[in-house]
Structures are given as C-alpha cells and as structure tokens.
C-alpha cells in the first residue's frame, strides 16, 4: 500500500479506494496505530460497502475552518475533489436539491444545485440535468473579485468568504454557469444556523449583501462523509471522490475508478470550450434506467 493511500485512509476522508487495495474496513484504524479516540471515519469494505470505523489516535475528524484560519485557503492536504453526474440515472426527483437546502439552511428563493429539464433536439427524448457549482480549475469568478473574497483551494474547491465579500457581484457576472446567488434581504437563518460560528466551508450564518453558492461540502469531507446532494440522491446518479485516488462513489455505495468511468461512458464537462476546466463531469443520458420525462413536465 502506497504512502499516499495510507495517508488518505489515516485522515478518514472519503476512503473510497480501499477495495482496490484489498484492505478490510475493520483493519483500517488498527493498521494506522491502534488506539481509538472515540471519533469515527468512513471506509469502504472489500465487499463495497461504506462503514463507520474508529478513528486512530490523533486522527479525529476536523471541524470546518473559520475565515481567519490560515488553512482555510489551502484546503484538505493531498485531496483533489471531483464530481461525476450520470444523466442516465437522474430521474429529476429533486432530492439532491432538498438535501442540499436542508443541510445548508438555504432559503426557498434559491438553490445551490439546480435540476434542469433538457432536450437536445425535437427528435431526442428530454432528460434531467443537475447543475451545481463546477469548482472550475480556471475559475473566472475568482479573477474578478476585488477583495479576494472568493478563492480556489489546492483541493479543487472554490469557496466564498462572506466576511470579505462587499457585494459587488462581479463574480456573479463572470460565472458562465450562473451558479451564484445574492443575499438581497436580511437573512432569515434558523436558530440551528445562527448557533454555529461562521465558516466559508458551509456558508452560514448568512450576511446581507453577500454572494453564496454550492461549496462541495468540504465540512463533510473533513468528517469522511459524502456531500448532501450525493447522499440524498435515491438513484445514485451523483458520484463524488478524490481525483488523486482515481475513485468516486455514490449514495448506493458503488465505487468506480474515475478514469475508467469517464473513458468508458464518454464523460464530458459543460461548455469545455470556455477553458474554465470544471471539476464536475457528466455521463451522457444513454441507456436510460427509467422512462423519459413527460413532455408536459415542468422545467427544474
């Protein structure tokens, strides 16, 4: 087992590639030094199931970082988070939206992930198209921010620091995917949100006159958990993982080698010609696993 994989399992962040190494989940903590701390990490068994195991000593899951933490802008060391959405599996149920909104206390007037109804031509069947922020590797949004409020991390995630944001909305104008929303009125966050210290890693409590968007759930990744949209999808249409480990997994516990999945299923990125280099890939809606949406269905 390589040193890189050992570190991956030790940190307990989306241990999705363990099956490929033949390591059993029950032995993951023991292999890294023994004593349990009472914390938990997520690991994948050789049977392909995600399970919770004791974190080894000194490796309890970290909490989300505050805006003043110097590690916030670096991201989780050694990780390169990525998402794959299988359009053949998406049935347009919107559970990814509901799960995301519930986790992030998102107001009803906005969505961090949209589900659009698409039809490529009159002769083609319509299909559903989930659209989160793409966390681009060449993000135009970060280049236009005059106060460095939005930034790209080494782990691939693009975040917004609302303690810096001045509400100019240059980033919203620069984003070709319309992934960002603006807090026009006084935020009406529930008590659960207000009780938390603000962190750009989960985006609340909100501030009037600031921008927000999908954050790829880095606070969940630090706990070894999948994003809300992934776990909320009953079809297993959304995969998430670490590009460095070449592995992604979905809500059904199915783990796939990333490179093979994109190669065999002709994975692509939206509007690649723009040069933004999104970190969200799509698998075409071929060999659909459910009936095509009704022609009279409303757009998501």
Looking at the domain that runs over 81-283, which CATH code has it been given? Answer: 3.30.70.20
| Euclidean distance between CA atoms 161 and 66, whole angstroms | 9
Mean pLDDT along residues 112-132: 93
| Euclidean distance between CA atoms 91 and 297, whole angstroms | 12
- 102 in Cβ contact with 297 (< 8 Å): no
Tokens describing residue 281: 């890939």
Length of the chain: 300
Please name the residue that has the structure tokens 């988070």.
81
What confidence category does residue 125 fall into, taking pLDDT thresholds of 50, 70 and 90? confident
- 282 in Cβ contact with 128 (< 8 Å): no
Q: Is the pLDDT of residue 30 over 60?
A: no
Distance of CA 240 to the CA centre of its chain: 6
DSSP tally for the chain: helices H, then strands E: 10, 13
Q: pLDDT higher for 60 or 114?
A: 114
Q: Express each pLDDT in 168-199 by its tens digit.
A: 999 999 999 999 999 999 999 999 999 999 99
What confidence category does residue 44 fall into, taking pLDDT thresholds of 50, 70 and 90? low
Domain range summary for the chain, segments of one domain joined by +: 3-56, 81-283
Answer left, alpha or beta for residue 3, where phi above 0 means left and psi between -120 and 50 means alpha: alpha
Half-sphere exposure of 273 (CA within 13 A, CB side): 1
Q: Express each pLDDT in 234-274 by its tens digit.
A: 999 999 999 999 999 999 999 999 999 999 999 999 999 99
Q: What is the pLDDT of residue 124?
A: 83
Please name the residue that has the structure tokens 């690991």.
43
Q: Is the pLDDT of residue 79 over 80?
A: yes
């Amino acid at each position: 087992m390589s040193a890189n994989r050992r570190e991956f399992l030790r940190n307990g962040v989306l241990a999705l590639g363990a099956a490929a190494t033949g390591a059993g989940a029950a032995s993951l903590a023991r292999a890294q030094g023994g004593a349990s701390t009472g914390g938990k990490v997520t690991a994948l068994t050789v049977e392909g199931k995600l399970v919770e195991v004791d974190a080894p000593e000194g490796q309890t899951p970290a909490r989300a970082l505050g805006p003043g933490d110097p590690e916030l802008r670096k991201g989780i060391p050694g990780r390169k988070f990525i998402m794959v959405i299988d359009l053949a599996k998406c049935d347009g149920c919107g559970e990814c939206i509901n799960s995301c909104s519930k986790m992030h206390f998102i107001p009803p007037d906005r969505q961090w992930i949209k589900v659009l109804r698409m039809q490529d031509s009159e002769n083609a069947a319509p299909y559903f198209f989930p659209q989160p922020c793409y966390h681009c590797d060449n993000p135009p949004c970060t280049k236009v921010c005059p106060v460095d409020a939005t930034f790209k991390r080494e782990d691939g995630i693009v975040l917004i620091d609302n303690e810096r944001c001045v509400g100019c909305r240059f980033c919203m104008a620069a984003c070709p995917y319309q992934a960002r929303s603006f807090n026009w009125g006084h935020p009406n966050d529930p008590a659960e949100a207000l009780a938390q210290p603000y962190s750009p890693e989960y985006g609340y409590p909100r501030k009037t006159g600031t921008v927000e968007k999908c954050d790829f759930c880095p606070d969940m990744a630090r706990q070894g958990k999948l994003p809300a949209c992934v776990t909320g999808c009953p079809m297993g249409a959304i995969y998430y993982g670490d590009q460095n480990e070449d592995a992604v997994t979905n809500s059904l516990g199915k783990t796939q080698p990333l490179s093979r999945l994109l190669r065999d299923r002709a994975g692509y990125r939206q509007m690649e010609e723009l040069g933004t280099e999104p970190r969200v890939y799509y698998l075409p809606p071929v060999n659909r696993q459910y009936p095509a949406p009704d022609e009279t269905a409303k757009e998501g």
